[in-house]
Structure 1
């Protein structure tokens, strides 16, 4: 995969995933508030968690973008572009719910203190921020800075990979919300038939 196709792949994934996440704000309040039998998060809590996690990832992405753009003067972008294998599959497991144990930091736990409107606005803004970073790093500059990602033993990720990670994390929770919906519908049908 070449750089332009790789960036386009990430851009499309970001947009599609965020559109699907934003659609969850349109489901019934009863579904958004339903707590699954295993005691997991409600849809409303999952949406808040996605926004919280993206907030903290975007702090790293912003710093990484700035450092990568400064590194253009000191590092050989042409050499990196020639040596890099653009492999989005490296991060795919992040987008699969329950594909590995993931212990999240306490500051990424939903608190329920933000309004639904605020969470939705944050998610919309976060998508725009990611797309802006991809525009700023259109010539491969995102390769010029890496940061360690401990989740699932990924190791060092460049700025593009961090942006893709953010999108795959949201995708992971789309599956969790679908599981909530399935359980909620089964629960509702069982109570209607009684």
Structure 2
């Protein structure tokens, strides 16, 4: 499979993070606690739980990204993802990964949360991610390897991890936004 220009990929990822950040500020930041904590109509996660789940991934991946970025000082030209990285990304991408997955125990959010703190942490993490994407412009996305959160002995290319994180964030932000759609009552 052909690669993609590293700067083009980073531009795309940066746009996604900007959109996620703006959405969190515009939509979630000023919602009442009761709305943020209300479980989904199908019994699924609340908005706060969706964001807390993403925060738990951020707590793992952001320090890993920082370490990886500190190791690389020369930018790459073309990023070529691995089959495993593409698999994980497709699995999480809401467009291609329509199957539901059960969250791993360490990444399952509690029901009782400080919803405002969860939203604030998600916003903070997106801001950090934007800074890391800017730093990634001077790194080789092929050379840096990041351990995967659920199988730490598996190490993926930095570019694969960044794409997975964006797909995972998009998946759960869409899940959170579904809470805000008006419920249509059928007579």
Partner Cα distance (1:96, 1:160) in 2: 19
Q: TM-score, normalized by length of structure 2?
A: 0.73
**Could you list the runs of 5+ residues in structure 1 that have no partner in the other structure?**
none
1:32 partner SS:
helix
Could you say which structure has the higher helix fraction? 1
The reply on whether 1:36 has 2:35 as its aligned counterpart is no
Aligned to 1:20: 23
The Cα shift of 1:34 comes to 2.7
Q: What is the 5 A alignment of 1:183-194? A: 185-186=183-184, 189=185
1:157 partner SS:
strand
Contact 2:14-2:130 at 8 Å conserved across structures: yes
Q: 1:170 and 1:138, CA in 2 relative to 1: closer, same or farther beyond 3 A?
A: same
Aligned to 2:179: 180
- After the TM superposition, which of the residue ranges 51-60 and 99-108 deviates more from structure 2? 99-108
The Cα shift of 1:29 comes to 4.4
- After the TM superposition, which of the residue ranges 9-18 and 34-43 deviates more from structure 2? 34-43
Aligned to 1:81: 77
Larger gyration radius, structure 1 or structure 2: 1
Q: TM-score, normalized by length of structure 1?
A: 0.71
Contact 2:24-2:123 at 8 Å conserved across structures: no
Aligned to 1:54: 58
Partner Cα distance (2:24, 2:166) in 1: 10
2:137 partner SS:
coil
- Number of residue equivalences: 175
The reply on whether 1:10 has 2:13 as its aligned counterpart is yes
Q: 1:138 and 1:146, CA in 2 relative to 1: closer, same or farther beyond 3 A?
A: same
